[in-house]
Chains A and B, each alone.
Chain A
Amino acid sequence: MRQFLDFEKSVAELETKIFELQHVEQSSDDMNISEELKQLVEKADKQLIALYAKLTPWQKVQVARHAQRPHALDYVNAFIEDFTALAGDRLFGEDHAIIGGIGRFNGQTVVVIGIERGSDLDTRLEHNFGMARPEGYRKAQRLMQLASQFNVPVITLVDTPGAWPGIDAEERGQAEAIAKSIQTCLRTTVPIVTVIIGEGGSGGAIALATADKILMLEHSIYSVISPEACSSILWRDASQAAQAAGALCLTAQDLLKFKLIDQIIEEPMGGAQRDPEAAVASVKKAIQESLDELQAIPAQILQAKRRDKFLAMGRQEVE
C-alpha cells in the first residue's frame, strides 16, 4: 500500500480511482475504460510532477521522512555486493542505529557506514529510529580508520533525526563521540562520499558527513535543528514548524546555493518513495562519479582539500 502525504491528497484520490478502474478493466473489454484510465493516469502524473516541482520546505521535510523512502539498508542491499556487516565499537557495545561494514561497490572494496531508521514499528525500534548512541559513532570511527588502513574509500549514508538524547548516551560521552567522529573524518586518508538520503539531523549527521563530497537527494533535508524544535524555541509555539522549516534553509536547493553541499541527486517523479529502485540507481551513479573524481587525488592533497572546503564555507558571503 502506498502511503500518501497530506499534500498529495488530490493525487491520492486520482490514484484510488485508477486502482478501481484497473480492477474493472481486467474483467471487461470496454474500450472506454481503457481510454479513461489512460487519461486519469496522465492527469495524476501531471499533478504529481507539478506538486513535486514546487514543494515547500515543510513538504520536503515530510517527504524526507517518508516511511517508504529507501533507507540506508535498502541502498546497501541494492548496490553493495558481498556486504559484510561489522559490529561494535570495541569499547562498550554495538549500536544498531548505525550499520556499517565492508563490501564491494561497482567491483571495488569500500567501507560503508549508514544510519538506518527502520521502516516499520519493529525495525524502527530495532534501529532506535535512526538515533545513534556513542558506541555507534565510535564504531563509525573504527570503520573509517579501517578504511584508511586498507586504502579503501568510505561511503556514508545519512538519515537521522539526530543523535540519541538519552541518559545512557550522555553517560558514555555522546558529545565526545560526535567530536571524535568529525575529527576521524578529517583524518581519514581515503575519499569520503556522503549522501544525505532522507533527514540530516544536526550533530548526529555531521559526525558522518564531514566528507570530501556531500551529496543530497533532491527532496532530502539537512538542518542544524528540527523545524519542530526550532519552532518551539524561537516561536515559543510548536505549531510554527512549517514556518521554521522555511526560515532554516534546510532544503538541498538552499544548501547548494550556500555552497554547503556539493551536488543534488535528482529523484524519480513523485519522490524516491515512489520508485526506490530508480532512486537507488541514481545514488549509485552519483557516488561512482564522486569516487572517480576523488580517487585521482593523492591522499595528502585530498585531506588538505577537505579542510579547505570546510574552511571556505561561509567566506564567499563576506567577500
Chain B
Amino acid sequence: MSWLTEFVRPKIQGFLKKEVPDNVWKNCDSCGQMLLIKDLEKNLNICPHCNHHMRASVTQRFDWTFDPNSYTRLDLPKAPVDPLQFKDKKKYADRLKENKTKSQLDESIVVAHGTIEGQKAVVAVMAFEFMAGTMGAAFGEGFIAAARLALAQQTPLIVYTASGGARMQEGMLSLMQMPRTVIAVEMLKEAGIPYIVVFTDPTTGGVTASFAMLGDIHIAEPNALIGFAGPRVIENTVHEKLPEGFQRSEYLLEHGMVDIVASRKELRPTLAKILRLLSNTAQPSEKVA
C-alpha cells in the first residue's frame, strides 16, 4: 500500500528561543488584569486572577508537553501552494507570506516527537497564529505525516487542535482534507496506536467535524470554544440567544463529546498517565484495509 511505504523521514530542525524582557505587560483577555508576561508564561499563560487560559504558541505547547530538551521537530512534506491562484481583496500568496513572517511558521501545523514523562509520543500542534489555524492542503499533508510517524515509531499521537475551520482560499482542496485526515486516523486505529485529541480555544468547522472528533480520548482545556458552526453563524440562523456556556468545554463534557476537561497545569501529567495506561496494550494489526 502506497500510504504504508512512503512515510516521512523525520529531520532535526533547529529553533531559537526568544527571551521576553522583564518589563513587558499584557492585559488578561478575560478579566482585563495587567499581567507581567514573564510571570504569565511561567504560569502557562493562565491568568492567576480568573484562571482564563490564554492562547499559546506552538513552541510553548511543545515545551509544556514534552520532557525538557526531549523533542525533535519533523520536517513536513510539501503541498500545493495556492492551487486556485486565489485572490480576494488581497492575494492568498501574499497572505501566506505575511503569515509566515508574522508567525515564524511554515503552516498551521507543527509536528514533533519526543517523550512525555519518559513515554514516547508524536505531538501535532495546530497553530492558530497561522491563518487562524485553518485547514488547507499543507495542513493535511502535515497531519498525515504525523500519523505516519506515529505508525512508523509505534508511538501514540497527540493532537492539539485550534482552528477557525476551512482554508477558504484553497476551495474544495481544503474540504478534501476532512476525509484525508480521517484516513490518517483510520491508519492509527487499525494499528492499535492511541490517538489523543486535546481541544484548545477555539476549535470549529471542518477540523472539529473530521479528525478532531475521532480521538480515542478527548481532552479539552477549560472554557475552550468547540463546535461545528461558529456562534455568530448560529445566532444569525436561529435568531435566538445562545445558552450560557454554549459550545464551551464544560458544555461538551456535559453533552458527552469530551472525556476530560483539564487545566493546562494538569495536562502533562494527564497525558502521561493515559500514555502509561495505554502503552504495551496495542496489538499492531496485520490487516491493511
Task: Give A contacts to B, CB under 8 Å.
Answer: 163, 165-167, 169-176, 178-180, 182-183, 185-187, 202-203, 206-207, 210, 222-225, 230, 233-236, 240, 243-244, 247-250, 255, 258, 260, 300-301, 303-304, 307-308, 310-311, 313-315, 317-318
Q: Does B88 contact A (CB under 8 A)?
A: yes
Query: CA A253 – CA B287 in complex, angstroms?
Result: 38
Query: CA A202 – CA B285 in complex, angstroms?
Result: 34
Q: Does B172 contact A (CB under 8 A)?
A: yes
- A sample of 18 inter-chain contacts (CB < 8 A) reads A165-B228, A167-B240, A171-B255, A175-B213, A179-B210, A180-B213, A185-B179, A203-B175, A203-B205, A203-B206, A203-B228, A224-B206, A225-B168, A234-B169, A236-B89, A304-B289, A310-B179, A311-B3
12 more contacts with CB within 8 A, not counting A173-B255, A179-B182, A250-B172, are A167-B238, A173-B256, A175-B209, A202-B206, A203-B206, A244-B88, A247-B86, A247-B87, A304-B288, A307-B289, A314-B137, A314-B173
- Contact flag A222-B172 (CB < 8 Å), given A178-B209, A314-B83: yes
Please determine whether B175 and A310 come into contact, CB atoms closer than 8 angstroms. no
Chain B contacts for A230, CB-based, 8 A = 168
Cβ-neighbour of A182 out of B1, B178, B227 (below 8 A): B178
Cβ-neighbour of B180 out of A166, A311, A318 (below 8 A): A311
Chain B contacts for A240, CB-based, 8 A = 88
Query: CA A202 – CA B209 in complex, angstroms?
Result: 11
Chain B contacts for A234, CB-based, 8 A = 88-89, 168-169
Instruction: Encode B174-218 as 1/0 by CB contact (under 8 A) with A.
Output: 111011101101100000000000000000011011111110000
Give min CB distance, A236 to chain B, whole Å. Answer: 8
Please determine whether A258 and B214 come into contact, CB atoms closer than 8 angstroms. no
Top 8 closest A-B pairs, CB basis? Answer: A165-B229, A317-B80, A175-B208, A234-B88, A178-B209, A175-B228, A179-B213, A174-B228
Chain B contacts for A260, CB-based, 8 A = 172-173, 176
- What's the count of A-B pairs with C-beta under 8 Å? 178
Query: CA A244 – CA B144 in complex, angstroms?
Result: 30
Cβ-neighbour of A167 out of B89, B171, B226, B246 (below 8 A): B246
- Contact flag A248-B168 (CB < 8 Å), given A179-B212, A203-B175, A203-B206: yes
Q: Does B12 contact A (CB under 8 A)?
A: no
Query: CA A170 – CA B227 in complex, angstroms?
Result: 7
Most buried by A among B173, B176, B233: B176
Cβ-neighbour of B246 out of A170, A187, A314 (below 8 A): A170
Interface residues on B, range: 35 or more
Query: CA A268 – CA B71 in complex, angstroms?
Result: 60
Cβ-neighbour of B176 out of A166, A175, A313 (below 8 A): A313
Chain B contacts for A169, CB-based, 8 A = 228-229
Query: CA A182 – CA B68 in complex, angstroms?
Result: 38
Chain A contacts for B255, CB-based, 8 A = 171-173
Give min CB distance, B109 to chain A, whole Å. Answer: 15
Please determine whether B227 and A206 come into contact, CB atoms closer than 8 angstroms. no
Query: CA A223 – CA B288 in complex, angstroms?
Result: 32
- Contact flag A249-B84 (CB < 8 Å), given A225-B168, A304-B288: yes
Please determine whether B171 and A176 come into contact, CB atoms closer than 8 angstroms. no
Please determine whether B175 and A206 come into contact, CB atoms closer than 8 angstroms. yes
Give min CB distance, B62 to chain A, whole Å. Answer: 26
Can you name the residue of chain B whose Cβ is closest to the Cβ of A173?
B257
Cβ-neighbour of B171 out of A170, A250, A317 (below 8 A): A250
Give min CB distance, B175 to chain A, whole Å. Answer: 4
Query: CA A315 – CA B2 in complex, angstroms?
Result: 13
Please determine whether A310 and B289 come into contact, CB atoms closer than 8 angstroms. no
Can you name the residue of chain B whose Cβ is closest to the Cβ of A314?
B137
Please determine whether B213 and A247 come into contact, CB atoms closer than 8 angstroms. no
Chain B contacts for A173, CB-based, 8 A = 213, 255-257
Please determine whether A167 and B242 come into contact, CB atoms closer than 8 angstroms. yes
Give min CB distance, A198 to chain B, whole Å. Answer: 16
Q: Does B154 contact A (CB under 8 A)?
A: no
Chain B contacts for A202, CB-based, 8 A = 166, 175, 206
Chain A contacts for B88, CB-based, 8 A = 234-235, 240, 243-244, 247
Instruction: Encode B134-176 as 1/0 by CB contact (under 8 A) with A.
Output: 0001001000100000000000000000000010111111111
Query: CA A203 – CA B172 in complex, angstroms?
Result: 11
Please determine whether B166 and A225 come into contact, CB atoms closer than 8 angstroms. yes
Chain B contacts for A180, CB-based, 8 A = 213-214
